Amino acid sequence: MSLQEALQLSRASKLVNERLDGGWTVVEQLTRPGELGAEDLTGSWFSFGYVAEKGGKKAFLKVVDVERALADDGKTSLMNRLKNLTDVHTFECDILDVCTKARLDKVVQILGKGEIPAAANAPMGIPIPYILFEHAEGGDARKLVSRSNKIDDAWRLSVLHQVAVGIQQLHSQDIAHQDLKPSNILLFSKDGSNAKIGDLGRASRKGTDTKHDLENWAGSTRYAPPEQVYGLIPEHWVDRREGCDLYHLGSLAIFLFTGVSLTSYYVSNISKDVLPKAWTGNGTCDYKTALPVLTSVFTSFIDNVCCALPEWGKAELSQIIISACNPDFTKRGDLNARKKQGNPIGIETFVSRFDRLAKRALVEVRQ
Ligand SMILES: Nc1ncnc2c1ncn2[C@@H]1O[C@H](COP(=O)(O)OP(=O)(O)O)[C@@H](O)[C@H]1O
Ligand SMILES: [Mg+2]
């Protein structure tokens, strides 16, 4: 059975017009991984996204497809699939609760959670667990960049500033996001000016080990920092988790200004015997051996992307990208902060640098 056929079968895929507790009605289904326009979605096979409405107000609804998880996938046992599903859902709810309690205003807010009861005509039917979020009416950054020709440097830098604040807020709660790609950056106004971090499904929490924490990289392979795809696991939380979020912030800057990805550049410019398997190489080279090659290709990448950066901010922006995306994870982050006790990544420096650049861009755009 194809992915598309499988997606059509369960009740969780047909929820339009269903009513939820609290007076919400499901009004629209959103694109799924595997569908055209959703190439960047790595989300679970077992979830669907919808828009729900109440009195003219919208919300984003994420439902868990338990029915389909129950069906045999020929790969894992039923109990394993169910455990996975409950672990993933419970973990996302718990992390979102921490963010709500801490009032993190640059992280998507949850409006409620619950279960849609089994259909009345199906006594053995299965309820559908869900999480209801505030609705990002501007969509996500990936969609906006691909569809809009109105974005300017002031918008790009303001989004980068807001995402940096979101990362700082998460790190202050000992949470690292680990999957900060453009489709997980949500825009909460029609003009896309209010950005927040979404999709905490692959996050890490200090002191809590979830299944994806044991994987070399938790988020998308296309955005993973080099040390992770080469199988090197940094010993310290700051390097392993906060360093990865910072790498994603730098990658987001690259994407917003150039539309290209650093990983694609590595893949096109490094020979197969040095590339890891995850990036279509033959995977025989380790991180330490590959690092000089990665560093030299990274330097040529920076030279290439410089022309896409605004003239007035080129020097500082390329410096920010170099310190956020350095293939050597020990050199990533603000160098002064890294010398302090505990070697903090210095996210506050990136917050203030993007803030200053965003303000300057407003003046430059007007001129
Ligand atoms: N709060 C929201 N408002 C509007 N759209 C959203 C919201 N949250 C997510 N989306 C859309 O749904 C997509 C998938 O949601 P996400 O939470 O990232 O789940 P997944 O685990 O499937 O990646 C996002 O890339 C975005 O386009
Ligand atoms: Mg996502």
pLDDT in tens, 334-361: 999 999 999 999 999 999 999 999 999 9
**Residue 178 buriedness (CB in 10 A; 0-12 / 13-18 / 19+):** buried
Residues 6+ apart with CB under 8 A from 81: 69, 70, 73
Distance CA 200, CA 347 (A): 19
Query: Phi and psi of 185, rounded to 5°?
Result: -100, 115
pLDDT at 116 over 70: yes
pLDDT tens sequence across 183-236: 999 999 878 899 999 999 999 999 888 888 888 888 899 999 999 999 999 999
Q: Is the pLDDT of residue 36 over 50?
A: no
Domain(s) of CATH 1.10.510.10: residues in the chain: 141-366
Ligand 1 centroid to residue 157 C-alpha, Å: 22
State the span(s) of the chain assigned CATH 3.30.200.20.
3-134
| pLDDT above 80 (res 317) | yes
- 141-366 domain in CATH 2.60.40.1120? no
Ligand 1: residue of 36, 110, 140, 190 to mutate (most ligand atoms within 8 A of CB) is 140
Residue 259 reports pLDDT greater than 70: yes
Mean pLDDT, residues 68-88 taken together: 86
DSSP string, 294-361: HHHHHHHHHHHHGGGS-GGGHHHHHHHHHHHH-SSGGG-S-HHHHTSTT----HHHHHHHHHHHHHHH
Ligand 1 atom closest to the Cα of residue 199 is 17
Residue nearest to atom 26 of ligand 1 (CA): 140
- Distance, CA of 23 to chain centre: 30
pTM: 0.93
Whether the predicted pLDDT of 125 surpasses 70: yes
Pick the range with the lowest mean pLDDT from 32-36, 53-57, 84-88: 32-36
What is the CATH T-level fold of the domain 3-134, as seen in this structure?
Answer: Phosphorylase Kinase; domain 1 (3.30.200)
Mean pLDDT of all residues in 252-264: 95
Instruction: For residue 33, count CB atoms less than 10 angstroms from its CB and return exposed for 0-12, middle for 13-18, buried for 19 or more.
Output: middle
Quick one: which ligand is closest to 88's CA? 1
pLDDT at 68 over 90: no
Cβ–ligand 1 contact at 201 (below 6 Å):
yes
